[in-house]
Amino acid sequence: MQEVFTQPYFCPSQDSKWYAAVEKIPEGPTTKLMQEYAKKYNMVIVVPIYEEEMTGVY
């Protein structure tokens, strides 16, 4: 599984254009969708996403 599930692997580039790709956990769209699937199928899903912990911390 790639390091960032919803985007191409960009981590080594340090390009600020990727800051717009961050999601909040648990209220982000990817997390919400994966929660629905996990509940529906009674399973655990590991989904690495680009998270913004707080403003400026990714």
Non-local CB neighbours of 37 within 8 Å, separated by 6+ positions: 43, 45
pLDDT of residue 21 exceeding 90, the answer is no
Task: Check: CB of residue 4 under 8 Å from CB of residue 11.
Answer: yes
- Of residues 19 and 10, more confidence is placed in 19
Is it the case that residue 41 has pLDDT exceeding 90?
yes
**How many Cα neighbours within 13 Å face the side chain of 6?**
17
> Which uninterrupted H or E stretch holds 37?
helix 29-41
Task: Please indicate, yes or no, whether the overall pTM of this predicted structure exceeds 0.75.
Answer: no
pLDDT at 31 over 60: yes
37 vs 11, higher pLDDT: 37
Q: What is the average pLDDT across 32-44? A: 97
